[in-house]
Amino acid sequence: MNQSSPQLSRLSYVINLGVVGVMLVAMMRVILMMMADGLYPLASALSAITVFLALVYLRRRFTPVRWFGIGIALALLFTLYPILFTLYLSVTNMGSGHLMTKPQAVDQLESQLYLPEGGQTYGWTAYESPGGNYALWLLPEEGPGLLAIPGQSIEAVTVGERGVGELDDDGIPESIEGYERLPVNRTVAIIPALGAIDFGKAPNTVRIRSLREAAELKQKYRYDDGQDAIVDEETGTLFKPLKGTFTSVEGEELTPGYIVYVGIKHFDHFIGNARFREPLFKIFGWNVAFAFWSVFLSFAVGLMVTLLFEGLPGSRLIRALLIIPWPIPVLISILIWRNMLNPDLGFVAPALESIFGSSPAWFQDAAWTRIGLIMVNVWLSYPYFYVISAGAIRSIPHEIYDAAVVDGAGHWNKFYHITLPLLLRILMPLLIASFTFNFNNFNVIYIFNFGRPPMPDTIVPMGQTDILISFVYRLAFINTNVTNYGLAAAITVMLFFLISMMVVFQVRFTNLFREAE
């Protein structure tokens, strides 16, 4: 670096400047458009990231950070920002009917049109291009004919202009270049399709109203800055903002609504509303039980595989077979289990029936679904616990056992008083991490039975085997008519809080931050 010539470093600086400049301009454009649409959180995040990148790649002082500036930018946008944005969402009403910002909602309302009763009307004739596009020839009561094509302004056209051919007796062109005049019977057949097309260019568009008549469309809603309200141009009704919806005095509401701050409303749900709180606590209880039993049993089985088969003739083969679940992708494993336990498809139900005379309702009965879920999860994760406990046992110095043998301890005593406590000490951080992971093990819960069977009589849909994160998913993604991102985010915030507590717990058992030395 010291040897590189000044010209070279100046050149690289200029290249840097150029690249950063282009990025700055492009990002500025996007950010300004976002600001105009009222997407302040995302616009601020992008601004911060842009400033960061510009500093890193221009200031000499930050040269070492250039090695991973892009990485940090991505992590900021897709790891840190979602956490902050979740906090923001949890105090908003974002959800179905309130998916946009206020400027976006106003834009969408202002683009709605209506067919006024009075307004200008025309007789019309349809033309079709080989590509399936339509054009209209409009004849007003008086005056010359007009050509109307979607996306182009409507204008009076004389013969010869824009490919318009000779007019017939009714004043309608025999032909328009690039289009074919449709006979009446054909036109009748496509009226539904034609009726959905806005001919012309906003704000002056024409839509057909009947076989005889087309009429000029008008903008239905207009946003009045001074009053901060929407005016219905057709009826004159005034719609004022009320909790994220433009609402008239009579209580009529306009869709779409928009995102507004609602304070701790969602959090109040957990505390104040018993019909919500009680089932949520049931979900929480099952969530803890699911994570605990998954870790406990997987660890037990993994440890058993480590200890029980040591030195047994054929143990290598036994272990090779026992590790088979590991490389199969999780989703596939769960799907297999689901089908295997299915009474009509799998072999498990017939097998159990022939032995016990009956087979459990794995997917309808909550208790059996829970047993199934834990069983599948143990199947998925004991190979991991086998591998880590085998590694940990190797690190226990054997001298410790010598003393025990002198004292006449049997192998059970050695296991219970030496191996197990030492193992737990070594593996506690991983066990807690695994608990945290299973606490949020969405895949198993969702893919096995979608959190079903449903809980009866809840205000929002909840499943008896839902855990918190699958409940979040249900609120946000399952039924798009009642999507509630705000509430889903509020529950996620609660999850962040719970996980932070688990991590504090984990840090006590480990030097989590040792890696940063």
Residues between 481 and 500 that touch another protein (CB under 8 A): 485, 488-489, 492, 495-496, 499-500
Amino acid occupying residue 38: G
* Residues between 153 and 192 that touch another protein (CB under 8 A): none
* Contact of 468 with 481, CB cutoff 8 Å: no
Among 337, 362, 448, 471, which residue sits at the site for another protein (rule: CB under 8 A)? 337
Query: What token pair was written down for 436?
Result: 């945290």
Angle between helical axes of 40-58 and 81-89 (0-180°, round to 10): 160
* Residues between 351 and 390 that touch another protein (CB under 8 A): 379, 384, 387-388
Least Å from the CB of residue 440 to another protein: 5
Query: Among residues 126 and 493, whose Cβ is nearest to another protein?
Result: 493
Query: Among residues 147 and 472, whose Cβ is nearest to another protein?
Result: 472
Least Å from the CB of residue 68 to another protein: 3
Task: Note whether 223 binds another protein by CB under 8 A.
Answer: no
Among 250, 263, 408, 513, which residue sits at the site for another protein (rule: CB under 8 A)? 513
* Residues between 290 and 329 that touch another protein (CB under 8 A): 301, 304-305, 308-312, 318, 321-329
Query: What token pair was written down for 136?
Result: 């209209």
Query: Among residues 197 and 322, whose Cβ is nearest to another protein?
Result: 322
Give the Å distances, CA to CA, from 224 to 155, 221, 229, 389.
30, 10, 5, 69
Angle between helical axes of 6-36 and 40-58 (0-180°, round to 10): 170
Query: Among residues 172 and 336, whose Cβ is nearest to another protein?
Result: 336
Q: Reduced to 3 states, what is the DSSP secondary structure of residue 265?
A: helix
Query: What token pair was written down for 209?
Result: 């109203």
Query: Among residues 115 and 493, whose Cβ is nearest to another protein?
Result: 493
Q: Kindly state the greatest CA–CA separation across the chain.
A: 120
Least Å from the CB of residue 226 to another protein: 28
Least Å from the CB of residue 514 to another protein: 9
User: Nearest 5°: phi and psi at 224?
Assistant: -100, 110
Q: Print the SS3 string covering 11-55.
A: HHHHHHHHHHHHHHHHHHHHHHHHHHCCCHHHHHHHHHHHHHHHH
User: Nearest 5°: phi and psi at 217?
Assistant: -90, 150
* Residues between 76 and 115 that touch another protein (CB under 8 A): 77-83, 85-86, 89, 94
* Residues between 403 and 462 that touch another protein (CB under 8 A): 405, 411, 414, 426-427, 429-430, 436-437, 440, 442-443, 447
Amino acid occupying residue 297: L
Please state, in angstroms and rounded to a whole number, the distance separating the CA atoms of residues 301 and 330.
Answer: 19
User: Nearest 5°: phi and psi at 97?
Assistant: 90, -20
Query: Among residues 4 and 185, whose Cβ is nearest to another protein?
Result: 4
* Contact of 224 with 231, CB cutoff 8 Å: yes
Task: Note whether 36 binds another protein by CB under 8 A.
Answer: no
Instruction: Specify the stretch interacting with another protein by CB under 8 A; choose among 63-71, 120-128, 152-160, 211-219.
Output: 63-71
* Contact of 348 with 359, CB cutoff 8 Å: yes
Least Å from the CB of residue 321 to another protein: 5
Least Å from the CB of residue 287 to another protein: 13
* Contact of 466 with 445, CB cutoff 8 Å: yes
Whether the link from the prior residue into 41 is cis, omega within 30° of 0, is: no
Query: Among residues 256 and 429, whose Cβ is nearest to another protein?
Result: 429
Query: Among residues 123 and 343, whose Cβ is nearest to another protein?
Result: 343
* Contact of 313 with 367, CB cutoff 8 Å: no
CA 245 to chain centre: 24
Least Å from the CB of residue 46 to another protein: 9
Among 5, 60, 64, 274, which residue sits at the site for another protein (rule: CB under 8 A)? 64
Task: Note whether 67 binds another protein by CB under 8 A.
Answer: yes
Least Å from the CB of residue 172 to another protein: 41
Total residues contacting another protein (rule CB under 8 A)? 110
Least Å from the CB of residue 202 to another protein: 19
H helices within 136-200, ranges in order? 184-189, 191-195
